[in-house]
Chain A
C-alpha cells in the first residue's frame, strides 16, 4: 500500500516536473508533507500552532549558522565538516571571555563573536594543517579531530584563569561549570532584536535578518574570484591545478572559513539557548548539522544555500513539532520511542531515496 502510494506520488511529481520543467525534490516534499501532517494533528489536538511556528523560526536560525558552516568545506571538495566542534570550541572561548568581563546585551554577544573569530582562525589553521595531510580521508579524520579536541579543551576549561564567579564551580572557586547561565549577560539578545508578534506568532526579525545576511555573505563570497577558485577545486581539482590555483591554499581558506562560521554559530546558539555548555557538550554537535544539510538535499560540491535553509528548517521543525504531538497522542513511555522512530525513519527514507536515485544500476 505504502509502496503504491509512494509510486503514485513519484509519478505525479514526474508528470508535474515534465509539464513545468521543474525539478521537484521528492525527499524534501515527503518530509514537508509529513511535517504538514504533524501540524494538522497538532491543530486537531489543540496544541497552539502559533507557538510551534515561533519555535520553528527560532530553531532555524539557532542551528542554521552551524549548518551554514559546512558549506565552504563542502564546496571545496573536502567533504562534510565532522570536525565542527573545533569551531564550536573557539566560539565557546569567545563566549566565556565575554561573560568573564560581564558584557551584556547585544554588545556582549558582538564582543563574544569578535573574540571568537581570531581564536577560530587559529584553530582552523591547525585543523587545516591536519586535514591537508590526509587528503581523501578528510571526513573520518575530521570526526576524530573533533573527538580529540573536546577532551583537550576539557583540560583548558578545568584550569582556565577565568574570574567571574558565575562561571566557576561554587565550591573551590576553580574550574568552569559545565553549564553557564547567560540570563544576566546576553541570553536572547539576538532573539529579541526587532522581534514582533503577528497573529500570535513571534517573529524574531533581527535574528532572521542576521542569518540571511550571513547566508548572503557566503553566497557573495562564492561569486568572487577566490570563491570561484575554491569551488573549482571542489568540482575538479586537476582542472583547478592547471588553471594555476593553489589547491592547498584553497583548502586551508575553506577550513578556516568553516571553523570561523561555526564559532559564530555557537554564539548565536548559546544566546538563544540561554546557556554556555562546556566540557563534552560540543562532542556530537556536528551530527545534527550534517543531518540537516543532507535532509536539505545537499550533494557534496553542489551544495547551495537553499539546502542549508530548507534542511535546517525541516530537520529542526520535525523534531520540535513531533515532541508535543507524540506526548499528547501516546503514553509518555512510548511517545519518545515512536517519535524518534517515525521522524528518523522519514529522514532516513528521504536520504535513501536521494542516494538510491544517484546510485541506481
Chain B
C-alpha cells in the first residue's frame, strides 16, 4: 500500500521513473485508480503514455532497456512487473492500439489462446500441453465472456471475417475472460473505430468498470476521455502535469495542460476554385481485404476536399486504394476527362495521383532518414532531386537539392527531429505523419488520397496536419480526398462529405449537415445529395 487510503485503491503507482539511455521517458509518475473507476491518461506524442502502459503490462522492451524505478501495487500488494506473465499474474490485462488477434482462428480460439480447457483424461495421461482441447468448454467460455459485455456472437466464426469494431470487442472479451483480471489497460482503443463503434466500446467499458474493475484509458480524443472517465491525468514530457476529477473537466484546460498553450482549431474558409470534375467514377467497384466498395458513381471536383466516411468494414478505405489500382477493380475511371484503361499504382502515381495510407508502417521507410523519406516518391515518380544520366534512369540523387528541400519541409511542416538525417522510424507518430505528408506533397500530386491522416496522433500534431492539408488545397489547388472516421475533422476542412454504407455511397452531404443525419446515413437509413 503506497497511499494512505485504507487500501481501497485497485492500482497504485508511486515514483515511476524510466530512462532510455540518457533520455528520461518518465519521471516520478504517481497514480491511483479505484475499483469501478475509469481513469484517463492524456498527453502529446512522446509524453510517456505508452511507456507507462508498457511498464504496467510488463513489456520486454522495458526489461531489455534496464527496467523501471518506483513501485506498483495491485489491490494493495506490491508487484515487480518484469514480464507479461508477471503482469498477467498480477491481474493486469492490456489492449493495444493495433489489433493483436489471430485472423485465421475462431473467436473462441482467440479468446482462450494459451488458457484452453482440455479433456481431463488427456491431461492426466499426457500433461496439459499434449492433452486434447475441449472445444465445447472453450466456446461456452467465449459466449460467457461476450455475455458479460452484452453481446451475442457465434464463437465458431473466424476473426478474419469480423469488422474492426467487432475485433476490438473480441479483444475486450479475451481480457475479461481472465479470472484474475482486476485492471484493464487500453491504449488508444478507439483509434481504429468510427464514432458509433467508439460509443459502443465506451458503453461497454462503463459496464465493465461498474462490475468493480479498474480501467486505465489512454486516448488522444479528449472528448471521449472526458465523457467516460472519472479522473484524468495529463502527462507532459514524462511527468504528471495536471490531474482533473469528474465533473470538473474542461476541454480547454486539459488541452492547455497537454500542449502548454492553447490549441487553435483549423477551419476551412474558402470555397473550391473550380467546379469541373477531375475524377469520375462510373459503376466502380473494388475489393480490398478490409471491405468492398461499389458499384459506385462519384465525381470528385477539381480543387475540392472531399471527405469519405462510413462505418468500418463498409468500404470507405477500399475506394482510394481501388482507384490507385492496388486491389482488384471493375468499372470506369476517368481522370481529367480521359478514361484510364489500366489502373496500376505506377501509372496512377505518374499521372499525379498519390495515396497516403492510414497505416504509417506502409507509408514510410523506417530505417531511412527523414530526408530520404521526404524526397523518395518525388525521385521515383517525377525524377526530382536526381542528377540524371542515362535519361535519369541510373541517375544519382542530388544530395544538395534533397537536403535543401527536406530542410524547408522540416521547418514549414513543424517536423520535430534532431536533423534531417535522423531515422524516420525514431520520430513520434505525429511527426512521422508529417514526414509522410511531406513525401506525398513533394511529388506535386494533382489528387491526394489521404487515409485516416490523424489516427493515433495528438491534438497539436493533428491541427498542424489538418492545417497543412488545407494550405495545400488552397494554395496549390490540390484536390484532396480524405477517408476518415473523424467526423469533427471532416466537417471542419471538407467541402463535401460522402458517406458509405455496405460499399455504396448513400449520400454526399454538406459539412453543415447535422449529426443526426450523418448517424442515420451511417446505418444506410437516409439518402442524400448536397
Contacts and interface: CB of A to CB of B under 8 A. Distances in A.
A228 B363 contact: no
A139 interface: no
A302 B367 contact: yes
A225 B379 contact: yes
Contacts of B324: 242
B421 to A, nearest CB: 15
A69 to B, nearest CB: 20
A361 interface: yes
Given A235-B365, A361-B60, A241 B394 contact: no
Interface in B100-136: none
B383 A225 contact: yes
Given A224-B394, A225-B394, A245-B380, A238 B362 contact: yes
A223 interface: yes
B393 A245 contact: no
A239 B364 contact: yes
A229 B380 contact: yes
B386 interface: yes
B362 A236 contact: yes
B355 A225 contact: no
A239 B365 contact: yes
Interface in B418-466: none
A241 B380 CA distance: 11
Contacts of B205: none
B198 interface: no
Interface residues of B, number: 33
Contacts of A228: 376, 379-380, 397
Interface stretch (B142-150, B176-184, B342-350): B342-350
B328 interface: no
A246 interface: yes
Interface string B338-364: 000000011011100011010001111
A243 interface: yes
Given A235-B365, A238-B362, A243 B349 contact: yes
Given A225-B383, A225-B392, A242 B363 contact: yes
B326 interface: yes
Interface in A256-289: none
Given A232-B365, A361-B60, A245 B346 contact: yes
Q: B interface, by DSSP: helix, strand, loop or mixed?
A: mixed
Contact of B381 (A223, A243, A361): A243
A43 interface: no
Interface in A211-245: 220, 223-226, 228-229, 232, 235-236, 238-239, 241-245
Contacts of A223: 396-397
A239 B376 CA distance: 10
A242 B353 CA distance: 10
B326 A241 contact: yes
B377 interface: yes
B426 to A, nearest CB: 15
B60 A360 contact: yes
B355 A242 contact: yes
B70 interface: no
Give 6 nearest A-B pairs by CB, closest first.
Answer: A244-B349, A238-B362, A244-B381, A243-B377, A244-B346, A224-B394
19 contacts: A220-B396, A223-B397, A224-B394, A225-B386, A225-B395, A228-B397, A229-B380, A238-B362, A239-B363, A239-B365, A242-B324, A242-B326, A242-B345, A242-B362, A243-B377, A244-B346, A244-B348, A244-B349, A246-B346
Given A225-B394, A228-B380, A243-B377, 12 more contacts: A223-B396, A224-B396, A224-B397, A225-B380, A225-B392, A225-B397, A228-B379, A242-B326, A244-B349, A244-B381, A246-B346, A360-B64
Interface of A: 220, 223-226, 228-229, 232, 235-236, 238-239, 241-246, 302, 360-361
